[in-house]
Amino acid sequence: MIRVLLLICLCSLLLQARENPFFPIDTAQDIPFTSNQANTLPMLKRATATLPSTARTIESVTVEYKNLDGSIAHKKVLIQNTIDWHLPIFISQNYNESNGETVVKKQVIKQAKKVNYKKIASLKFISFYAKKNKLKILTKDKILRNFLLVKPHRIVCDFKRDTDIGSFIKSINEKSLFTKIRVGTHKDYYRVVIELDGYYSYKLDHIPGGYMIKLL
């Protein structure tokens, strides 16, 4: 009888034994799991992001990364700079800071070069000259109205003149924000349609000898 009781007590103790007695019961499950599996992902060289033509400023950049324990975290960096949506955004790692400074200096020097207006289209009574985001319209004719249309994004200007030139279309092959000039005649006025390479607002001002359109 005594042997039976001892056997029952021994079985009870074995059932309550833990797999690893060296860890406290309350914290054994709080240790983060890490893996010794080799990381086969390639090192970051450069990633590229292209923004739509409606983008004008970059407010911040958020990086999502994975920690050693496999958890996902985020890092947000405030930037708040204006951008040119034509150019891509790069993410890279570079240990050579001097090379980066050299590239920036070259870009500043390149941007500092003077850019002159270039004639992109002309008729007997009107001429168009483009420079970056500006379009100079030289004409003696009075502008009646101007407005913006989409699909494609274009600026429409009506000028007072009784003329019949039929239809005039000029595609701009150069790297210009202004991609096409179209002129058509109506009763007592003619219409100029200026097609753009993306989404913009604009400002129109009177200048000596004509008008100036500035894309914003």
CATH number of the domain where residue 160 is located: 2.60.40.3500
Q: In this structure, what token pair is assigned to residue 201?
A: 């607002």
Residues 136 and 85 in one domain: no
The verdict on residue 159 lying in a domain is yes
Residues 162 and 76 in one domain: no
pLDDT, residue 109, reads 54
Residues 198 and 131 in one domain: yes
Question: Domain total for the chain?
Answer: 2
Residues 126 and 184 in one domain: yes
The verdict on residue 153 lying in a domain is yes
Residues 79 and 157 in one domain: no
Burial 133-147 (b: 16+ CB within 10 A, else e): bbbbbbbebebeebe
The verdict on residue 197 lying in a domain is yes
pLDDT, residue 52, reads 93
Residues 129 and 88 in one domain: no
Residues 132 and 205 in one domain: yes
Residues of the domain holding 54: 45-92
Find out whether 48 and 90 touch, Cβ atoms under 8 Å.
yes
The verdict on residue 130 lying in a domain is yes
The verdict on residue 36 lying in a domain is no
pLDDT, residue 31, reads 45
The verdict on residue 75 lying in a domain is yes
Closest CA to 137 of 186, 204, 46, 58: 204
The verdict on residue 172 lying in a domain is yes
From first to last of its 216 residues, the chain has per-residue pLDDT tens of 555 555 565 555 555 555 555 455 554 455 455 555 556 888 888 889 999 999 999 999 999 999 989 899 999 999 999 999 989 998 888 766 555 555 555 555 555 567 799 999 999 999 999 999 999 999 999 999 999 999 999 999 999 999 888 889 999 987 899 999 999 999 999 999 999 999 999 999 999 999 999 999
Residue 19 CA to residue 183 CA, distance in Å, equals: 86
Among candidate residues 36, 57, 92, the one where a domain is terminated: 92
Ranges of H-type helices in the chain: 2-16, 97-112
pLDDT, residue 28, reads 45
Residue 105 CA to residue 181 CA, distance in Å, equals: 36
Residues 74 and 149 in one domain: no
The verdict on residue 66 lying in a domain is yes
pLDDT, residue 44, reads 86
Residues 200 and 155 in one domain: yes
Strands annotated E in 2-125: 46-49, 57-66, 72-82, 89-92, 118-122
